[in-house]
Amino acid sequence: MKRAAFLLVATITWVGLVSASDEHSHAEEGVAPAEAWKKLEEGNARYAANKPEHAHQDAARRTETAKGQKPFAAVLACADSRVGPELVFDQGLGDLFVVRVAGNVVDDTALASLEYAVKHLGVKLIVVLGHSKCGAVDAAVKQVKEDSHLGKLTGLIKEAVEQSKKWSGDAVQNAVSANALLTAQRLKKSGPVLKKSVKDGQLQIVPAVYDIESGAVKKAEEPKQPAEKK
């Protein structure tokens, strides 16, 4: 009886070690950031041109991914119904590890999900995907008062609104870009997992903005032209 119990414990331990080894192997073999971004760019170009391939969306892919997942990128996106990362980037099952929350803000739960993607799934690229006409950002810009949890969410966008006031152009669209940029910076500084991975050159975090009318995704950048002084 004791021998049987010993063999059972030994077997469980061995399985655990093999699983951990496989997990580590996935992390080492993840798709390089530049290659991952290129795949996203190409997929988005197909989507925007109305020529999606709809790959990895059949029963065979479903069966394949049931054995495990190896996403080549992670996306922190807004929960807006018009913003579906798998559609926007023309990807399928198991291709993207997606975290969605209104305003594409980052809190502890979103951060934990992204850490999991990097540490355990080998993801080497995280895209922070803002989008045009974002309701959460618009509410933050207009300082809409909310007594519910919505107020806490727009509060997380307040810094982006303040920073973008020095930029010329549309206030909401500027805040959308600033929000993506600031969220990406927060992720880069988040220890211990993401900060170390970025420092070691194993992870890139890219802020981007999706145009819900054209379908195009572009990297978010601060405008070179500051707002005119009044």
Query: Residue 227 falls within a domain, yes or no?
Result: no
Rg of the chain (C-alpha set): 20
Q: Is residue 17 over pLDDT 80?
A: no
- Look up residue 100 and give its amino acid: R
Same domain as 9, residue 38: no
My answer on whether 95 and 129 are in the same domain is yes
Q: How confident is the model at residue 224 (pLDDT cuts 50, 70, 90)?
A: low
Q: What is the pLDDT of residue 146?
A: 75
pLDDT at 12 over 50: no
Q: Which domain holds residue 165?
A: 31-219
Q: How confident is the model at residue 19 (pLDDT cuts 50, 70, 90)?
A: very low
User: 210, 217 in Cβ contact below 8 A?
Assistant: yes
Interior angle at CA 39, CA 50 and CA 110, nearest 5:
100
Does 179 map to a domain?
yes
Q: Is the pLDDT of residue 230 over 50?
A: no
What is the value of pTM for the model shown? 0.85
Burial of 159 per CB tally in 10 Å (0-12, 13-18, 19+): middle
Closest to 91 (Cα-Cα) out of 132, 129, 133: 129
The CATH number assigned to the domain holding 107 equals: 3.40.1050.10
pLDDT tens for each residue of 74-118: 999 999 999 999 999 999 999 999 999 999 999 999 999 999 999
57 plus 26 within the same structural domain:
no
